[in-house]
Every structure is written in structure tokens, then in C-alpha cells.
Amino acid sequence: KDAPLEGKPDVYRLGWCQDYPHANNWIHEVFNPEVGNNEILISPDDPQVGDAVKEFTETTIAAQTASPEEQLALYKKAEKLFIDDIVGIIPVYYYSTVGVEKPWLDRVYSDAKYFYRWNVDEAAKMDAR
């Protein structure tokens, strides 16, 4: 092998779930080649997409200190650069959770963070008997 990527597949499955609900967690931390995980091994030195990768990196870093309105615009720009000019992403699988609840039990969540927040409608429970 002469090149570090020689023999590696051109298609990858990214099995990751978001850590917190913000565009930075996906766009910057997962895909940024200089300060993120760079799971897809993109590089600003790539002769085909290097300029777009540099612009993507600068945009995601700038978005971290911008106002919420500016962040939205910058992350949209970074996402467009990433998908249109650098790589393609095909979501092939979405994680899901199935839950069952009684009609008299309110606020059932599959997320453990909210598991303790539930209410029993005693009247509805008695009517269900």
C-alpha cells in the first residue's frame, strides 16, 4: 500500500447518536477534519475537495461564537458545503424505540432522563377495570 487510504472502502456506516440537540454536535464535532472526529477522513489537502473542506472548517468554527440567528445561517452553509461539495450522505437507518402505555398513564418517555416524570390518572385507572 502506497497511500494511507488505499484499500479502504468508499462507503461507511456512521453508527452514532447525537450527544446534545445542537447542529454543532453533528456538523462540527463529527465531521470537522481538524478538530472533530473526522470519521470520514476528509482533508483540506485533498486536491479534489480541499478548498471546500477548508471553507467548511472555517464556517463550523465561526458558527460556535455567533449569535443563534448567525449560527443557523452558518451551519446551513456548512451543511450545504458538506453535502454538495465534499461528500454524500444517505441515511439508511434511524434508531427508534417502541413503548406501550396504559390509557390512564400520562407522560411515558423512552428517554431515561424523563423516566421518573409520569402521572397516574386514578379515575381513568378505576374506569379501565
Q: pLDDT at position 64, please?
A: 87
Q: Give domain limits for the chain.
A: 23-86, 99-129
Q: What is the pTM of this model?
A: 0.58
Q: What is the mean pLDDT of residues 48-55?
A: 89
The pLDDT tens digits of the residues spanning 52-78 come to 989 988 898 888 888 999 999 999 999
Residues 44, 54 contacting (CB under 8 angstroms)? yes
**CA distances in angstroms from 63 to 66, 78, 82, 129, listed in the order given:** 5, 9, 15, 55
